Amino acid sequence: MDMPFDHFNNWVDSGCPNEAPKRSSRFVDHWQAPPLSAYEDQAGQVPAHDDAPQGGLIVPGKVARESRFYSAASLKEKQVPPREWLVDKLVPMKTVTLFGGDGGTGKSLLALQLAIGAATGAGWLGRPVEQGRVIFISAEDDDDELHRRIDDILRALGRDYDDLSGLTMRSLAGEDALLAIETKVALMQSALFEELDARAADETPVLIVIDTLADVYPANENDRAKVRQFVGILRGLALKRRCAVMLLAHPSLTGLSSGSGTSGSTAWNNSVRSRLYLPRIAPDGEEIDPDKRVLATKKANYGRIGGEIAMAWKDGVFVEDGTPEGLDKMAAGAKAERVFMRLLAEFTAQGRFVSANPSNTYAPTLFALHPKSEGMSKRALKGAMELLFDRGGIVIAEHGRGSKVRKHIAIAGGQTDAE
């Protein structure tokens, strides 16, 4: 229902009449949420959400709560449940995965590829995905843009629109997309959230994608308590509907510069159980290739962090790219080459010639010890030197005369002979 909190209180005090305003659904088949009376208990009160401790709707009034404490000894005869994954070691089931990336990096496209991969069983970036129904909500892209992207993905997969019966789309571009209402006391689930929850109850999806956090979250991103409540609301949805929830987000300027991909309060990172990040490969602000990306695992409570998937944008979609060996290695290699070339130019201008062979003028050793090495190790600079020789960026030149002729490294196309 769309109403201010004060009006909501008056509505509750009046007995929660069923004719209260409802938000009309715009999911594909215009599903209508059940009347509020369907949720009332025998006393005529609206019970608290099953997952209220994790952020469920709290309605004024005393509501009976069944104790759910239990003895750990009672687990003795029970089979240990296996860990459930939507995508093995990347996207866990029954919890929230925060998927970050700067605007224009392609996180919305990649999330839509995951949605289609799950709905069709086609997989994602060469990895198997738990197949099932998917709900995809976009507050950024309109229906036409979503249609264009879906068409590109289907073409790349060799699939047809008939294969998408399990994918439910909803564009909220230009609409109120808040999934919670901020009050002086706590966050409450919005009418849109209740619509989403009811839709999920009807469809039993394996995945719900929400794009993006900035559109659906109503409070200050630095408010730790509100952040935890909001993540709790979404986690409650994931637990109740036994699905994965993926929340897309933009990193802050600090998150971009540090490479962490975080935004706002640290509670965002601490509250979710899985966090992925899609950065541009741009060491020192210089993008190596505008079509290359690396999907990095920044947090994984149920697996290892630090995992990376190299990919490239091709014909409107992202495909796995086996050429890059990971963000850190690519970034470090590019940086080492830049440092090597800068120091080589500086040494040469000073008449200090360096050698490609181990000696007291060995370039990697001297450059690694230089104050402007930017932390590059001798090993990294040696690798950069070899790559630069292979690509023709540097060459062997000579200086001196007669018996005093010596060889040194020079920048290709520059001065190759010196006194």
Q: Are 391 and 385 in contact (CB under 8 A)?
A: no
Mean pLDDT of 163-183: 96
Q: Average pLDDT, whole number, for the chain?
A: 83
Single-letter code of the amino acid located at 176: D
Question: How far is residue 118's CA from residue 245's CA, in Å, rounded to a whole number?
Answer: 13
Mean pLDDT of 191-219: 97
pLDDT: which is higher, 64 or 291? 291
Beta strands (DSSP E) in 250-324 are 274-277, 292-300, 308-314, 317-320
List of domains in the chain: 85-324 (3.40.50.300), 330-418 (1.10.10)
pLDDT value at 214 more than 60: yes
Q: Are 170 and 135 in contact (CB under 8 A)?
A: yes
Question: How far is residue 156's CA from residue 179's CA, in Å, rounded to a whole number?
Answer: 33
Beta strands (DSSP E) in 59-133 are 85-87, 91-92, 96-100
User: 327-349 vs 378-391: helix axis angle to the nearest 10?
Assistant: 80
Per-residue pLDDT of 268-285, as tens digits, reads 999 999 999 998 877 656
pLDDT band at 252 (very low <50, low <70, confident <90, very high): confident
Place of tokens 């009811």: 198
C-alpha dihedral (261, 327, 282, 394), degrees to nearest 10: 160
Per-residue pLDDT of 307-341, as tens digits, reads 788 899 999 999 988 654 555 566 667 888 889 99
Residue-level pLDDT at 303:
78
The DSSP bridge partners found for residue 19 are: none
Q: What angle do CA 78, 79, 83 make, to 5 degrees?
A: 130
Question: How far is residue 316's CA from residue 148's CA, in Å, rounded to a whole number?
Answer: 9
Q: From the CB of residue 320, how many other CB atoms can be counted at a distance below 10 Å?
A: 13
Question: How far is residue 275's CA from residue 30's CA, in Å, rounded to a whole number?
Answer: 33
Per-residue pLDDT of 342-360, as tens digits, reads 999 999 999 999 999 999 9
Q: Are 300 and 274 in contact (CB under 8 A)?
A: yes
- Enter the pTM of the model: 0.67
Mean pLDDT of 107-132: 97
**What is residue 355's DSSP assignment?**
B
pLDDT value at 418 more than 60: no
Q: From the CB of residue 250, how many other CB atoms can be counted at a distance below 10 Å?
A: 17
Identity of the highest mean pLDDT range in 111-115, 304-308, 338-342: 111-115
Write down how long the chain is: 419
Place of tokens 């090495």: 373
Q: How far is CA 165 from CA 109, 133, 143, 147, 345, in A?
A: 19, 8, 17, 15, 61
pLDDT: which is higher, 304 or 319? 319
Mean pLDDT of 112-136: 97
Q: Are 265 and 231 in contact (CB under 8 A)?
A: no
The DSSP bridge partners found for residue 181 are: 188
Query: 409 is written with which tokens?
Result: 């490294």
Q: From the CB of residue 358, how many other CB atoms can be counted at a distance below 10 Å?
A: 10
Per-residue pLDDT of 21-44, as tens digits, reads 455 566 654 334 344 334 344 334
Task: Specify the DSSP element, H or E, that contains 375.
Answer: none
Residue-level pLDDT at 111:
98
